[in-house]
Structure 1
């Protein structure tokens, strides 16, 4: 196959790309979705499954409010079960400082119509009848938040898109984006040249590498998340997402996904030194939560492996088993009635973090017809449905109903040009 043509070509088969393909196909737009591995194979299936409005940046809240509304009808819309539960998000407090920080966020949520409130220690224990941690002083709770099964959602969007005429190309990497006179016009793929009037980049952790040859700066860093899954536990956690000494969500089969709460890992690569300075402000704020490692990812980046999108069909980093085992011990202390806990499976995935923790959404200035939705900084799963709708509207020239200026693709390049001009 070579020199095929689509109205819109999407690079990246995670939840953002698949949701965008679905919304475009539903509108009758000719669309091709290109994924170097399998649809949903990377972070879209490796996250915790949280659909969270709570503690979001105020700029993201309007999008999340709409996204939650979309989630409530998504199983019917896509014609398949997604294990969607709307039973809340709970962040636990063990000291006065954390409780005070939670209290400060409540007016932000209320301003946007959320039902967020502080729970007392007794209310937390009533909400979680098997929870037995006497250190808990209360928690921040948003009952309208929800969760779903990550392994199902991107695939469901892609299948629904295909049923409406979209073409899905798995195991088909995109090596480069072609432009003429500043207009994006084609993709070079393993199956040949694919022409398109519009190109959408939804490539997650790979975004900076794909855009770099076009002179587009996307200063994201790979942050590794680690998750483990337990055996079936004889307790009920009400299908909500909780953050405490650990982070956890109970699946519909009774197993529990557990992760280390507020712990981030960064495997140093050559990009760490290129984009690292942009992250110094956020690193100072969250320094105690970061762990850095030098190992095979640095060697691979030095060897240029990550510049070739066929060498890693799926990023599948090794999980931090010691950290996950410690998280499981803490969970067992909080839930002694769960009985013996075994970690049946563990995995890790790379999230693309931005210096301001906000995503990049929109058309890239100076590159007409080239759009992107990336940099969701570990909180993109819940946004998937609304981003798919917004991207489809942007591409078709329809109003999105949201202020997207905080997510502008050129907000970092502007800053760099200003610095350069000051030193010229």
Structure 2
């Protein structure tokens, strides 16, 4: 079953001859970057090979959370929490944002202690996040049958609607002069005296001074064609939504077996709290050493499988001429088949733990490809080898919530402004300069 339909964004017909910055990718990261740059008065064009917010930006859970974040992402996510409430006013369009609070369940003393220790990451930040007792947990989720020691509760966390938010940001950028070009794949770039000078799209060439690659799961392929190595693989996450339900929890909940959040339409988005599928593909072998720490740390959450995906990706070329069709023109949108087994287990667990869910039915199931990097921390960085080229990718399932702040940080880097936060942990060179890969998420 295909993923939920995002609000359609009609692309501009006219291809500009010249802009200041071209953003490659019309997901939430690319559109947030474009909005920030356009608000600074720069001429910007977003080039999207398919449609705005059509891949993971429109297929994710919709969580906007700082809780349980990798410590390296916390300062940037704290900024995102401040930006989300302003987005509807900034863009003039609905995002569905709701500061509903998120609770992570703790079923053992050891788990409770790990979350409690994690709270040290929020010291000095104005964020309401705390541990709650089993009694407080039961008050938030009446009828919950899960045997808990308590929970990690962040009232400042919330959710937004993936099918609304990216479109809203794109339209907000367009209102400030940004070109939104859909079905406009970028085949490559041109340089002058070693500096970025243009992008070559399927519709023609656009001269520019800087390029931001925000291509999600396609970023590694694009960079590889330029001789730049980015270890990146795809993880399949499966999601479902229910029909509208009265009497369900308003606060978003995570457990090992399921995660659930209330949607704007009154239904719930539900997924497994941990289970994901990883298709073994040719690049799995190329990046095997890079991902060893991830496999050791996340073995409970990742299930490897051999599928037709191996042969599909094996047929994708690594290089192509700029006057020929690129792989991006033959693969407009990633819309994978979800795992019914994983979703059935998650929905059964939700009904078992929260009996109120027995009153509703599954309305839709879908899958989405998460773009991952070995340490699950995003890359928000200039490409030193190609002056004028920047990349924002590898958000590893954390990109939707952090998107507005990631866009602001990228705009800072492009314009040479003082960065919103220290970008050191997000540099691409960490995968080649001997930095040890540390995986924090999924504790």
- Which of 31, 35, 51 is equivalent to 1:22? 35
| Deviations, residues 136-194 of structure 1 (Å, cap 9, x unaligned) | 22111111111110111111111111111111110111112223343122212110122
Q: Is the 8 A contact 1:86 1:240 kept in 2?
A: no
Gaps of 5+ in 2: 1-13, 319-325, 436-443
Q: Secondary structure at the match of 2:66?
A: coil
Residue 441 (structure 2) aligns with: none
Q: Structure 2 CA distance, aligned partners of 1:3 and 1:124?
A: 55
Secondary structure of the 1:258 match is strand
Specify the alignment match of 1:365 in structure 2.
384
Cα deviation, 1:280-329, whole Å, max 9, x if unaligned, reads 01211111221011112111011227971112111011000111011111
Residue 251 (structure 1) shift: 0.5
Q: Which moved more, 1:94-103 or 1:39-48?
A: 94-103
CA RMSD of aligned residues (A): 1.8
Task: Give the drift of 1:113.
Answer: 4.1
Matches of 1:296 and 1:99, distance apart in 2: 41
- Distance in 2 separating the partners of 1:263 and 1:315: 20
* Separation (CA, whole Å) in 2 of partners of 1:122 and 1:102: 17
State TM-score, norm by structure 2.
0.90
Is it true that 1:135 corresponds to 2:147 in the alignment? yes
Q: 124, 142, 145: which is aligned to 2:137?
A: 124
- In 1, distance between residues paired with 2:106 and 2:357? 22
Q: Which residue of 2 aligns with 1:348?
A: 367
Query: Out of 411, 421, 427, which is 1:402 matched to?
Result: 421
1:39-88 alpha-carbon deviations (Å, 9 max, x no partner): 00000011111111112122211111111001121111211221111121
User: Which of these residues, 158, 173, 192, is aligned with residue 180 of structure 1?
Assistant: 192
Compared with structure 1, are the counterparts of its residues 6 and 107 closer, same or farther at alpha carbon in structure 2 (3 Å cutoff)?
A: same
Query: Does the 8 Å contact 2:257/2:274 carry over to 1?
Result: no
Which residue does the alignment assign to 1:422?
A: none
State the Cα deviation string for residues 188-208 of structure 1 (Å, max 9, x = none). Answer: 211012211101100010000
Q: Is the 8 A contact 2:105 2:151 kept in 1?
A: yes
Number of residue pairs matched? 415
Note if contact 2:238-2:366 (Cα within 8 Å) is conserved in structure 1: yes
Question: Aligned residue for 2:211?
Answer: 199
Give the stretch that moved more between structures: 389-398 or 234-243.
234-243
Question: In the alignment, which of 289, 304, 311 is matched to residue 277 of structure 1?
Answer: 289
Gap change, CA 1:259 and 1:169, over 3 Å in 2: same
Which shows bigger deviation, 284-293 or 314-323?
A: 284-293
| C-alpha separation in 1, matches of 2:371 and 2:132 | 33
The structure 1 residue matched to 2:224, chosen from 193, 201, 212, is 212
The CA distance in 2 between the partners of 1:245 and 1:135, in whole Å, is 13
Q: Secondary structure at the match of 1:112?
A: coil
Cα distance change, pair 4–402 in 1 and its aligned pair in 2 (3 A): same
Query: TM-score, normalised to structure 1's length?
Result: 0.94
Give yes or no for contact 2:132–2:152 (8 Å, CA) kept in 1. Answer: yes
Q: 1:258 to 1:305 in 2, by over 3 A?
A: farther
- Residue 112 of structure 1 and its aligned partner are, at CA, apart by 3.4
User: Following the alignment from structure 1 to structure 2, what is the Cα–Cα distance between the partners of residues 259 and 273?
Assistant: 29
Q: Deviations over 1:394-419 (max 9, x none)?
A: 21221123110111121112239xxx
Of the candidates 74, 87, 103, which is equivalent to residue 87 of structure 2? 74
Residue of structure 2 aligned with 1:381, choices 379, 400, 408: 400
Structure 2 CA distance, aligned partners of 1:90 and 1:310? Answer: 41
Kept after mapping to 1: 8 A contact 2:184/2:202 = yes
Q: Please state whether the residue corresponding to 1:277 is helix, strand or coil.
A: helix
Q: 1:351 to 1:387 in 2, by over 3 A?
A: same
Shift of 1:3: 8.1
* 8 Å contact from structure 1 (residues 52, 64) kept in 2: yes
Is 1:189 aligned to residue 208 of structure 2?
no
If each structure's helix is expressed as a fraction of its own residues, which one has the higher value?
1
Q: Paired residue for 2:105?
A: 92
- 1:146·1:241 contact (CA, 8 Å) conserved in 2? no
